[in-house]
Amino acid sequence: MPEVPPIGARIAKYLDVPDAAKGPAIPAGKGYRTERLGAGLYMVTDNAYQSMFLVYESGVVVVDAPPSYAAHIKTAIAEVTGKPITHLVYSHAHADHIGGAAMLGGRPIIVAHAETKRLLARSNDRNRPLPTVTFTDGYQLKVGSQVLELQSRRAAHQPGNLFIYAPAQKALMHVDVVYPGWMMWRRFGLAEDVPAYFDAVEAVKSYDFAKFVGGHVARVGSREDVVVQAEFMADLKAAALKALQTVKVGAEVNPLDLGNPWAVYDTYIDRVAASCVNALTPKWKRRLAAFDVYIWDQCYAMEQSLRID
């Protein structure tokens, strides 16, 4: 049995979060903090979710409105400028990142990928108003002297998930793909396409950025954070592939269950995942925060993708 307990096994305490994964504390009683990323560009976070806003000559562009602190976004902006919110960019359609859009008030121009609009129309959620400007490939949002370059690539996390790049500030936002200092959220951040997820991380590396906003965790990321996650993912893929090649189908199954293919493959897949977890634990359990929380999920997702994608 691996050192890290399997899914469903409750433990007294998870591994401590490494200091390198932590960000600045949220001021007492405030519920959020603001961090400057460059000229007129700021991140807002509750140290679990992240959004941005960009100040230009006559207004403000907000990027994402997580419902956990969306009510504070206007307050955060007011600490920097008295200008109104004129635009709202949706990184993608998921409610945990834009479900606070209606809390911003006013009638901002909402910009998103056409796939995001399609998914939101299906959801029919009044907390996530439909975009008013959509595109299918790339879009340059130029407001005054400020620019955000919006681009969609092959869908990994969700169709329409955007790369949001501020070239002047050398800051990149791409949500639910890279988790600086942390293990990815369960099953590659619930990616809809695991091979495309690998491509997305490589795409992040292709941008000329100094600061990275991933939509989650407590701090801004760096290029090194992206490199480290890519290294972990390469190790994960190699460990899962080796396990698939060496673990035998049908081994350790009760002979009375050999006529039950579901039971045979359940045992096989569990043993593949255990082998994968064992291979990765010595190197990574202290390097990535929450390694022990989601390493089983990642190994299950990786073996499945290698078998069927």
Domain with 70 in it: what CATH number?
Answer: 3.60.15.10
- Same structural domain, 76 and 148: yes
Whether residue 294 lies inside any domain: the answer is yes
Q: Supply the DSSP symbol for 93.
A: S
End-of-domain residue from the set 170, 202, 222: 222
Whether residue 9 lies inside any domain: the answer is no
Whether residue 202 lies inside any domain: the answer is yes
End-of-domain residue from the set 197, 222, 247: 222
The pLDDT-based confidence of 11 (bands split at 50, 70, 90) is confident
**pLDDT (tens digit, 9 = 90+) per residue, 123-158?**
999 999 999 999 999 999 999 999 999 999 988 999
End-of-domain residue from the set 202, 222, 242: 222
- Same structural domain, 170 and 289: no
Question: For residue 2, what pLDDT is reported?
Answer: 83
d(CA 242, CA 52): 41
d(CA 52, CA 216): 12
d(CA 301, CA 309): 11
- Same structural domain, 265 and 193: no
Whether residue 8 lies inside any domain: the answer is no
Three-state DSSP at 53 gives strand
Question: For residue 262, what pLDDT is reported?
Answer: 96
- Same structural domain, 36 and 170: yes
- Same structural domain, 218 and 245: no
CB atoms within 10 A of CB 154: 13
Dihedral in degrees, nearest 10, Cα atoms 7, 264, 192, 98: -30
Amino acid at 172: L
- Same structural domain, 207 and 132: yes
- Same structural domain, 129 and 43: yes
Question: For residue 175, what pLDDT is reported?
Answer: 98
Domain with 263 in it? 234-308
Pairing of strands 59-63, 85-89: parallel
Question: For residue 136, what pLDDT is reported?
Answer: 96
Task: Name every residue whose Cβ is closer than 8 Å to that of residue 164 and which is 6 or more positions away in sequence.
Answer: 52, 63, 89, 91, 148, 149, 150, 172, 173, 174
**pLDDT (tens digit, 9 = 90+) per residue, 164-219?**
999 999 999 999 999 999 999 999 999 999 999 999 999 999 999 999 999 999 99
DSSP lists the bridge partners of residue 109 as 87
Compute the mean pLDDT over every residue in the chain, rounded to the nearest whole number.
97
- Same structural domain, 72 and 208: yes
Got the DSSP string for 17-48?
A: PPGGG--PPPPTTTS-EEEEEETTEEEEE-SS
Q: pLDDT exceeding 90 applies to what percent of the chain?
A: 97
**pLDDT (tens digit, 9 = 90+) per residue, 19-77?**
999 999 999 999 999 999 999 999 999 999 999 999 999 999 999 999 999 999 999 99
Domain count, the chain: 2
Tokens of 182: 């942390």
d(CA 149, CA 172): 10
Query: Residue by residue, what is the 3-state secondary structure of 236-263?
Result: HHHHHHHHHHHCCCCCCCCHHHCCCHHH
Tokens of 300: 């299950």
